[in-house]
Amino acid sequence: MKKISKICCIGAGYVGGPTMAVIASKCPEIKVTVVDVNPERIARWNSDNLDELPVYEPGLKEVVAGARNRNLFFSTDVEQSIREAEMIFISVNTPTKTYGKGKGMAADLKYVELCARQIADVATEDKIIVEKSTLPVRTAQTIRTIMENCGKHINFQILSNPEFLAEGTAIADLQNADRVLIGGDRSTPEGREAIDALASIYEHWLSPDKILRTNLWSSELSKLTANAFLAQRVSSINSISALCEMTEADVDEVAGAIGADSRIGSKFLKASVGFGGSCFQKDILNLVYICKSLGLNDVAEYWQGVIDINNYQKRRFAEKIVTSLFNTVAGKKIAFLGWAFKKDTNDTRETAAMYVADYLLDETANITVYDPKVTQTQMLTDLNYLATREESKNSAMLHSVKDPYEACKDAHAVAILTEWDEFKGYDWQKIYDNMKKPAFVFDGRNIVDAEKLRNIGFKVSQIGK
């Protein structure tokens, strides 16, 4: 079997960094180099102060500290790393297109194509190219075509190895993966050898029965499908949360009751202000686009519904704040607890918080945010990205503070946007005492003890209750 001694990973982001750190920690005999075109990101991965790593994940610091500069390296020298590696992971971003054909729907594959062309330019020996990024089904064909036309007599094997980690639990997800999926060309000895070479890396710490082998297209499509199914569960329970609010049913009780059926299962049934994150929306939009391109309009419509319900849920939460505050939030201070798209991450991509903020800023509210891991600069970048109003207006109307009690002081309402554990343990009496009355709490994550807060005097609104 082909033995891998050097790995290159292109893209040092939320996936490339943690994934390679775990591979390096589990495979000390393999040199793993993570490269990126962003020198600031690489400098932060190399920082002596482990609190400055560009990605916050519980357990990541320890894994990086153990392997960095032993067999884990972060570098901006993309070409050198490609040249020396036998296996190259493509872990670059694949955002939704913001221009041209498929704008707002299709995945933008320009970074992936650039990687493929760079590998084709630089390589002088056989390479195994691994798609780690989430890609539309049949992208491997594009990569293969670029390689086959690079005019070199080199054997390139393309594998699909999508990543299933979730942010906030990335290290645990990688160390105890439910499964690893490897798609490749099983019809040739070289294809099978490449699949085995990749499998042998994961077999350093996962049992072989966790490694699933499929053809390339099944692997690529499974990743989009997995995210679509997960997001669909969240939208399903969120749709029911609206019905609960009108019928005195309690969505957490409904979720508990249906989740006890082993055919349904209990995970991903937590009603919320809406799902965020860099991938659910992007991947479903991509799925919808692929279906439409292939004339499967009914299938496209079905999955579009998952996004529509999510947008509805975010809007519904924001509208509830306005109607509860006597139909106006103009000039009122609203405190946000949380900005990240979920707890235990500093990632804010597509966070529900920015859409709720955007809605309230349209109503000319003043927002003060406390999030333990997100900076004010990042919050304003998120809002400015929506391009709803002038940037100067966003920075005049939204501020972030480092103390939750200060965020809530003199506020008319507190809105909980992220389920950070620390919010549950706050001194809510103190928060109440310092707020304007009536003091409202809008719990977009159903994490506070509503009964206790009501006894203090708060007017509490939760999702689906």
Q: Contact residues for ligand NAD (CB under 6 A)?
A: 10-16, 35-38, 41, 78, 91-94, 111, 114-115, 133-134, 163, 165, 167, 278-279
CA distance 52 to 57: 12
With contact defined as beta carbons under 8 Å apart, do 459 and 442 qualify?
A: no
What does 230 interact with, of ligand UGA, ligand NAD, none (CB < 5 to 8 A by kind)? ligand UGA
CA distance 45 to 64: 9
User: Is the CB of 41 or the CB of 342 nearer to ligand UGA?
Assistant: 342
* Catalytic one of 9, 27, 244, 279: 279
With contact defined as beta carbons under 8 Å apart, do 23 and 30 qualify?
A: yes
What does 461 interact with, of ligand UGA, ligand NAD, none (CB < 5 to 8 A by kind)? none
Letter string b/e over residues 165-175, b meaning 16 or more CB atoms within 10 A of that residue's CB: bebbbbbebbe
CA distance 237 to 152: 53
CA distance 266 to 252: 11
- For the packed helices 251-259 and 216-247, what is the interaxial angle rounded to 10 degrees? 130
What does 255 interact with, of ligand UGA, ligand NAD, none (CB < 5 to 8 A by kind)? none
Q: Interface with ligand UGA by CB under 6 A: which residues?
A: 134, 163-167, 227, 230, 234, 268-270, 272, 275-280, 341-342
CA distance 409 to 369: 11
User: Is the CB of 284 or the CB of 431 nearer to ligand NAD?
Assistant: 284
226 CB-near residues (< 8 Å, 6+ apart): 164
* Catalytic one of 163, 167, 220, 245: 163
Active site residue 27: no
Provide, rounded to whole angstroms, the least separation between the CB of residue 326 and ligand UGA.
29
Reduced to 3 states (helix: H, G, I; strand: E, B; else coil), residue 367 is strand
What does 227 interact with, of ligand NAD, ligand UGA, none (CB < 5 to 8 A by kind)? ligand UGA
User: Is the CB of 95 or the CB of 331 nearer to ligand NAD?
Assistant: 95
Active site residue 223: yes
Strands 333-337 and 413-416: parallel
Lookup: tokens for 109: 């594959």
Active site residue 163: yes
Reduced to 3 states (helix: H, G, I; strand: E, B; else coil), residue 426 is coil
Provide, rounded to whole angstroms, the least separation between the CB of residue 62 and ligand UGA.
20
What does 411 interact with, of ligand NAD, ligand UGA, none (CB < 5 to 8 A by kind)? none
Provide, rounded to whole angstroms, the least separation between the CB of residue 14 and ligand NAD.
4
Provide, rounded to whole angstroms, the least separation between the CB of residue 11 and ligand NAD.
3
Residue 189 Cα to chain centre, angstroms: 36
Provide, rounded to whole angstroms, the least separation between the CB of residue 184 and ligand UGA.
20
User: Is the CB of 120 or the CB of 135 nearer to ligand UGA?
Assistant: 135
Positions marked catalytic = 163, 223, 279
